[in-house]
Structures are given as C-alpha cells and as structure tokens.
Amino acid sequence: MKKMIVGDHIVKSFGEGDEKRNVLDGVSVHINEGEFVAVMGPSGSGKSSLMFALSGTDGINDGKVVVDGQDLSMLGEKELSDVRRTKMGFVFQQPTMLKNLNILDNILLPALRDNRKNTADLTKKARALMKRVGIEELEKRDMTQVSGGQLQRAGICRALVNNPRIIFGDEPTGALNSASAQEIMDIFSEINGEGTAVMLVTHDAKVAARTERIMFMRDGAIVSEMTLPKYNGMRLDDRVEKVTAKMRDIGI
C-alpha cells in the first residue's frame, strides 16, 4: 500500500527555556492512500497537534512531514497552502461558517479562493454533495437556521468540494448526539469507500471502531496501535468492545 503522508520523528514544542514542553515527542507515523484511521488518547496527549503537523497546518520543531513525496519544510507558504487546498479537506467539531452567507455560499467559499476553478462547476459539485448528504433543501438557509448535524454535513461538503485525497476530522462528531454522530460516520465511511483517506481525532470508541487503524497517544507519543478489518456495517458493538478493551489494557 502506498504511503500518502509520512511523519518522521516529529517534534512539536511550546514554551521557552524551563517552560519548554514537547507536545509531540519524536512521533513517527504514516497514512496510506485511501486509509481510514483514528487517533485516540487522553485530553492533551497531542492528537490535534499531530493532525496539525501532518496536514502542514502548523510548523514543527524537528523531524519531517512528507506528503506525496514532498517534504513540507521545503515548501514556501504559497506552495504549502496549495498542497493543503488541493489535497486536503478539514472538518472540525463546530464548522466555522460565516453568518452573513447562506449554507451553499459557505460551502463554496474556500474553493472559490482558487480562482482557477469555475464557479458554475463548483456550484454544481457543491449541490451534488449537499444532495448526497441530505441537505439539498437547505442551501439558502444560514448557519443559525440548521441543526448541528445539518451544519456538520455542510462542513463535510465544504471539505469535499475540492476533491481532496484526505479528509482530516478533529472531533467531527463531538458536538452531535449519538444518532447524528453515527449518520456522520456513515458519510465518512462512504467517502472512504470511494478512495479518499480519512483521519479522525476522537474520544469516542464508537467513532474509532468504524475505522481500520487506531493510533493511541499519550504524552506526545503513539503508545499503541490496533488494526481492524474494513467496517461492513455489521457488528459495530463487537468492534467497540475491542477498542474499549484495548484502551483499558493500555490505560487510557
């Protein structure tokens, strides 16, 4: 399997002098093309920092991150932002959307910054995505007129509109009730089934149990990993039990 992203001895630190602390302490990790992975671990263990490092969102202090053979530290700001815009999509716990724009325009906003793309084509793509995730009726509403689950669906459309090769999700179901969370996970599974890699940071064993590889972090390091067969919609409870047993074993 081809590696899409490789992190090699990543060190990320905050603070100066005696206060200096490594939040990523020499982490080596990879994500394969089309893979579905989760990162779990206690609060403050470095999960989001790892995601920000692997996506080139944040610089690192040592080690390197290579995306499709390109060492991110060798790229200028413009090239780095091109890599992020063309290859990556981002979904957060609370989608940040502008209040004065409707849902459709919010979905289109980041993509339209890339003026090489045609607005009509992008709009068509955005509408197709909205239909697919079941929010096609909502394009004229603003973010205060939709539910949390609908807003997150819009966030996923926004992340997908540029056809990324990987979606990074930082607690994408964290603000949702459990039924909406599972529906959002159905969408991630579908996207992944079409070949897009997905990396989710989550506290929720039910979310992680949908993926095929889980990395467990503690104190800025990956302390354990488990793999699961691709989820086929069956026996989620058994998978969740395996994940929680592993968490108990390693004490997180």
Interface with ligand ATP (CB under 6 A): 14, 23, 41, 43-49
Q: Which is nearer to ligand ATP, 40 or 126 (CB)?
A: 40
Residue with tokens 């909502």: 138
Return the number of other C-beta atoms located less than 10 Å from residue 106's C-beta. 24
Q: State the greatest distance between any 2 C-alpha atoms of the chain, in Å, as a whole number.
A: 55
Q: Which is nearer to ligand ATP, 44 or 134 (CB)?
A: 44
Closest CA to 148 of 168, 191, 113, 178: 178
Q: Report in angstroms how near the CB of residue 25 gets to ligand ATP at its nearest.
A: 11
Q: Report in angstroms how near the CB of residue 165 gets to ligand ATP at its nearest.
A: 23
Q: Report in angstroms how near the CB of residue 169 gets to ligand ATP at its nearest.
A: 12
**Can you give the length of the chain in residues?**
252
Q: Which is nearer to ligand ATP, 203 or 242 (CB)?
A: 203
Closest CA to 7 of 228, 242, 239, 221: 221
Q: Report in angstroms how near the CB of residue 134 gets to ligand ATP at its nearest.
A: 28
Q: Which is nearer to ligand ATP, 46 or 172 (CB)?
A: 46
Q: Which is nearer to ligand ATP, 107 or 226 (CB)?
A: 226
Q: Report in angstroms how near the CB of residue 55 gets to ligand ATP at its nearest.
A: 13
Q: Report in angstroms how near the CB of residue 175 gets to ligand ATP at its nearest.
A: 13
Q: Which is nearer to ligand ATP, 157 or 215 (CB)?
A: 215
